[in-house]
Amino acid sequence: MAHPRDFRAGILMLDTHFPRIPGDVGNPATWPFPVEFETVPGVGVELATRESEPSRYERPFIDAALRLERRGVSLVTTSCGFLVLLQERLQSALHRPVLTSSLLQVPWIAAFLEPHAKVGIITFERPSLSRAHLLAAGIDPSRVVILGLEGTAFHATIALDSPQLDEERARQDHVDVARRSIAQHPEIEAFVLECANMPPYAPAIREATGLPVYDITTLINWTAAAFMHD
């Protein structure tokens, strides 16, 4: 069986202060292997989510990623799915695999679903997830339905960088959006959670909908399995 000591993930963290509960990308207990965190100074949720031109924050991320690479991590990921806009730029700058976003899984998932089926992308903020983000992840827009959590307590906690998180309310927010999406779009056969703060709520979505749920942890754990050895 693979031993987790053979693998270390480097995680580029936004400059935030909201709680990171187990399951969140930024909580070490989320991962079955060692992780290294590197905060990108001055880049918070608003800039990463709502700025459509990645050149405004590209350099700090490249510098932080290079610091992780020098520390010997096996791969580099991030704490925000919207950073898929930096996928090619970071990959070009590093000599380690880069997986910026859970959205990178969508083309693979769509490939093994029925031709008429769609992937439901649950995102932190629907108006901010643009066609450019989808194309950066190699996603065919016709194969997805995008659903946002704007207007929920969870969204407010992250957007306002609040030090308090109502976990039960956040769980219900995610379940409500997932159930509503299934009612409106019965062609959805799988979910991908864009936001790297959403994995704690994946089990509740699976239970409520009966559908598979993918997130940043499924992506990184899948990749880690290829690095590990007996």
CA distances to 2, 16, 18, 152, 161 from 137, rounded to whole Å, are 29, 25, 27, 26, 27
Q: If DSSP codes are grouped into helix, strand and coil, which group holds residue 137? A: coil
For the chain, which residues score pLDDT lower than 50? 1-4
Written as six digits, the tokens of 110 are 């769509």
What distance in Å separates the CA atoms of residue 77 and residue 169, rounded to the nearest whole number? 28
pLDDT at 4: 46
Are 211 and 223 within one domain?
A: no
Tally of domains within the chain: 2
Q: Report yes or no on whether pTM surpasses 0.85.
A: yes
What is the pLDDT, as a whole number, of residue 227?
84
In CATH, what number is assigned to the domain containing residue 48?
3.40.50.1860
Task: Quote the domain boundaries for residue 89.
Answer: 4-101+218-227
Q: What is the pLDDT of residue 5?
A: 55
CA distance 171 to 58: 32
Residues 131 and 183 grouped into a single domain: yes
Residues 35 and 79 in one domain: yes
